[in-house]
């Protein structure tokens, strides 16, 4: 499952990953941090190119399933205005054993940051800017 949503429901993600053949589940949640570049962040705003973002996320998801033999993989990203602590991205995988789930989960978020057309605008107390690097 890949989705672009207004608000992320973490409980729903966990439910969707449930699978009787899976003995391990790993979920990464990215949230809004209150600082960046040594400045106080007040909020973030995410913009997406929906059709392409879905298409790119699906490519990554399929690659992860094939590489690690996963039972399930999920990628969800939020759009719009997000406050400190809000979840903005969640990726999760379920597989037979724990050995596969950690690298697979890291792969999902790392690749999302490289290729999926989503943009983050950071708002500080006195200014704002589009983030162009993804550490």
Q: Radius of gyration of the chain from Cα atoms?
A: 15
Cα 23 from Cα 65, distance rounded (Å): 15
SS3 content of the chain, % helix, strand, coil (to 5): 35, 40, 25
Q: Any idea how long the chain is?
A: 135
CA 107 and chain centroid, separation:
11
Largest Cα span, the chain: 51
Nearest approach, Cβ of residue 124 and other proteins (Å):
16
Nearest approach, Cβ of residue 56 and other proteins (Å):
8
| Per-residue x/- track, 21-60, other proteins (CB under 8 A) | ---------x---------------xxxx-xxx-x-----
Stretch that binds other proteins, among 5-13, 32-40, 63-71, 111-119 (CB under 8 A): 111-119
Query: DSSP 3-state assignment of 3?
Result: strand
| Per-residue x/- track, 70-109, other proteins (CB under 8 A) | -------x----------xx-------------------x
User: Where along the sequence are the contacts to other proteins (CB under 8 A)?
Assistant: 30, 46-49, 51-53, 55, 77, 88-89, 109, 112-121, 130-134
């Amino acid at each position: 499952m890949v989705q672009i949503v207004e608000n992320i429901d973490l409980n729903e993600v966990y439910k969707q990953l449930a699978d009787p053949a899976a003995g391990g589940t790993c979920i990464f949640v990215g949230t809004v941090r209150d600082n960046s570049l040594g400045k106080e962040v007040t909020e973030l705003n995410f913009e997406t190119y929906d059709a392409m973002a879905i298409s790119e996320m699906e490519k990554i998801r399929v690659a992860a399933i094939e590489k690690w033999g996963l039972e399930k993989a999920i990628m969800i990203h939020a759009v719009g205005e997000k406050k400190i602590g809000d979840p903005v991205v969640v990726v999760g995988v379920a597989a037979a054993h724990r050995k596969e789930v950690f690298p697979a989960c890291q792969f999902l978020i790392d690749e999302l940051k490289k290729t999926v057309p989503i943009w983050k605008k950071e708002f500080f107390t006195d200014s704002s800017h589009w983030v162009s690097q993804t550490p």
